[in-house]
Chain A
Amino acid sequence: MRKVYFDNVATTQPDERVLTAMNPYFREHFGNPSSLHSFGEAPKKAVDEARTKVAELIGAGPEEIIFTASGTEANNFALKGISHANREKGKHIVISEIEHFSVFHSARTLEKWGFEVTHLSVDQYGLVDPHDVEEAIRPETILVSVMHANNEIGTIQPIEEISKITKEKGVLLHTDAVATVGNIPVDVGKLGVDSLSLAGNQFYGPKGAGALYVRKGVRISPLIDGGIQEGGKRAGTEEVPAIVGLGKAAEIAGEELSSRGRHLEELRDYFIDRLLQEIEHIKLTGHPQKRLPGHVSIVIRFIEGESMLMFLNIKGIAASSGSACTSRALKASHVLTSIGLPHEIAHGSLVFSMGAKDTKEDVDYVLEELPPIVKRLRDMSPLY
């Protein structure tokens, strides 16, 4: 049976070249980069090289890159660390309504710590209006955080326009670019951000390595205290193999970004066209053009997401959903409700995120298997 992995926003398959680069750092070069003896040399060099490669990918300086264990940690670090370090200036933070939980819940924790948080609403496509950012900023605002692209609906935000406003107002801007770095061109200078999160497992690197970009001069308090790794900003023995993998993935992304993007955009648009043609009562969520290259998110009426995922899984197809039943909390995705979808429609959500190696044959296979699944569930549904 054909196996199709269309859940790349969950995690991507590490590139073979990444695995090859990582291996020696599990075996011969197992030392601690901070060790003064010879066993620390190669690991230290490797971490420095990885840092340079990641910096290059996003147009930053190596000293502006702090390695973390994940995109989630990078987001926690950005929100809590920047807020804490700048608390004398003010205690108001602005985030969008559709941020990833690692930003959302970090902000909630900040509220418990005495900060005030404003949530910006989004339009039907999930877009933040830069004008709303302007309205939300007050004299005591110290940080704005808007994700570069949303993993559930694929929409890419106007970060550049938003940065013009934050610069004018003297407020720091952070962006969760976990879904974009390595998948579309990301340049911190061009975007105008003061801080940015990224994660290796989103662009064919390993799990266990992410990074936070912090522009030189921006104050940030460490989240994790201890030794003096990462310039004293993030303690803990470095996960050398994962960091090396992240660096290699960054290097490869730098070379292959445009071809990846073109290939995935073509597949995506073909997939969307066919879906909208072949299945009735279906709607694309997120912006039709300003969206991640391999991302197809839809809502299918009268049936529920988890049951669709189960049938797809039986056919070897991996996808995701924002329905309540697929969440531990039994709540429909906050992203889908924020873009104005009624709950009963949000429950029919299906998210396909394709990867660089996926082909038209993979898409055609899904197009073959999905309509009968939809029909089967609709025949069973009291709503149809």
Chain B
Amino acid sequence: MAMYSEKVMEHFQNPHNVGVIEDADGVGEVGNPICGDLMTFYIKVNGDVISELKFQTFGCGAAIAVSSIVSEMAIGKTLDEALKISKEVVAEELGGLPAQKMHCSNLGTDALHEAINDYLKKQSKKK
């Protein structure tokens, strides 16, 4: 597709970390099938590092590529580092996104942050 970069096409065709984690430590779901995008992120946290991440996505090429690259960027990072991953950085990592697809990079980082917040909420409940 002419509007997408090579990197986006790569991640679209071979997305990393697709799947579900049954006993996830945190789950984040954002988007809305009504708008045409839905992303669910599952994380496992070891100490304060994201040790595992899996995602499922309903959406366009950009949505799938964003989910894949966000998952790559987040695994192995601390929760604080992961919370700092922004949509601009994601778009840059992907070699740029067409203007009307920037909202997809927003969604990806939101799903990650939701998963982290879900984990933190669960942790504080335990205490």
Contacts and interface: CB of A to CB of B under 8 A. Distances in A.
Interface residues of B, number: 26
Interface stretch (A71-79, A174-182, A322-330): A322-330
Interface string B59-91: 111111000000000000000000000000000
A343 B57 contact: no
Given A310-B1, A314-B13, A382 B36 contact: no
Contacts of A328: 100
A307 interface: yes
B36 A381 contact: no
Nearest to B15: A380
A246 B4 CA distance: 35
B33 interface: yes
A381 B60 contact: no
Contact of A306 (B39, B56, B60, B103): B60
B103 to A, nearest CB: 8
A99 interface: no
Contact of A307 (B34, B56, B64, B100): B64
Interface string A318-338: 000001111010101000000
Q: Per DSSP, are chain B's interface residues mostly helix, strand or loop, or mixed?
A: mixed
B34 A343 contact: yes
A344 B34 contact: yes
Nearest to B20: A382
Contacts of A313: 1
A51 interface: no
Given A314-B13, A382-B38, A383-B38, A307 B59 contact: yes
B58 A381 contact: yes
Contact of B60 (A325, A332, A344): A325
A303 B57 CA distance: 9
B7 to A, nearest CB: 14
Interface in A295-313: 302-307, 309-310, 313
Interface in A358-384: 379-383
A304 B39 CA distance: 13
Nearest to B4: A310
A363 to B, nearest CB: 23
A307 B12 contact: yes
Nearest to A325: B60
B24 interface: no
A234 interface: no
Given A332-B36, A343-B34, A382-B29, A307 B60 contact: yes
Contacts of B100: 328, 330
Contacts of B38: 381-383
Contacts of B29: 382
5 contacts: A302-B58, A325-B37, A332-B36, A381-B38, A382-B58
Interface of B: 1, 4, 12-13, 15, 18, 29, 33-40, 56-64, 100, 103
Given A303-B58, A381-B57, 5 more contacts: A305-B60, A310-B4, A313-B1, A382-B39, A383-B38
Interface of A: 302-307, 309-310, 313-314, 323-326, 328, 330, 332, 342-344, 347, 379-383
